[in-house]
A and B are shown apart, each in its own frame.
Chain A
Amino acid sequence: GAVVSQHPSWVICKSGTSVKIECRSLDFQATTMFWYRQFPKQSLMLMATSNEGSKATYEQGVEKDKFLINHASLTLSTLTVTSAHPEDSSFYICSATSGERAYNEQFFGPGTRLTVL
């Protein structure tokens, strides 16, 4: 149980276009999902907390107009990178926590590698 999927797994786009990444909890309801960004050989940086039915909470330094987050249902959160530029190229990972294990364990999606040309 506790499986999280992401789609697409990788995407290449031109500078100036927008890219949408989906994160789904497949076998549990996730009232809260999280979006992380990771550069090669670096740590995971929390970008935002996505709450079902309400606005996302962004971490300091993360542009909310650049990274649009929508949590449409208890099993789906989307991250849209708007007007992407090469510096947005990164590995984007979502995670979710579930019920009684929310205290100590998060379940990660497989990640989406974004390359902006």
Chain B
Amino acid sequence: GQSLEQPSEVTAVEGAIVQINCTYQTSGFYGLSWYQQHDGGAPTFLSYNALDGLEETGRFSSFLSRSDSYGYLLLQELQMKDSASYFCAVPFNTNAGKSTFGDGTTLTVKP
């Protein structure tokens, strides 16, 4: 089976840096993805790591350590619009659509 753990809530202020951790247990590993979901909306893809290390995309970065079965999403220069739920996900196989999602981390950005 597959399971993921991430914190349920995180709060930070505008301009700050936040790290959302995700640990996983999988029978086979194909990569770790991150998705953002605003309240009432659909998830949108943020990043994907298949190999160890840091991937940077603008204000967001994602890190993976396969030996530790651990990854994180780093959000810098937080803005109010970053308030959302963030999900880590692992695919069952080589097709990312068949994925197990973590329970999500609700990020609240305060002025």
* In the assembled complex, A95 has its CB within 8 A of some CB on chain B: yes
Among A13-21, A67-75, A79-87, A106-114, the stretch in contact with B: A106-114
CB proximity of A104 to chain B, nearest CB, Å: 4
Are A43 and B103 within 8 A (Cβ)?
yes
Are B97 and A42 within 8 A (Cβ)?
no
B96 touches which of A33, A97, A109, A110 (Cβ 8 Å): A97
A97 touches which of B43, B87, B95 (Cβ 8 Å): B95
How far does the alpha carbon of A79 sit from the alpha carbon of B64 in the complex, in Å? Answer: 35
CB proximity of A44 to chain B, nearest CB, Å: 5
CB proximity of B64 to chain A, nearest CB, Å: 12
A104 touches which of B43, B48, B98, B103 (Cβ 8 Å): B48
Residue in A closest to B45 when the chains form the complex, CB atoms: A105
* B44 / chain A contacts, CB cutoff of 8 Å: 108
- Chain A interface (Cβ within 8 Å of chain B)? 32-34, 41-46, 49, 93, 95-97, 101-111
- Chain B interface (Cβ within 8 Å of chain A)? 30-31, 33, 41-45, 48, 50, 87, 91, 94-104, 106
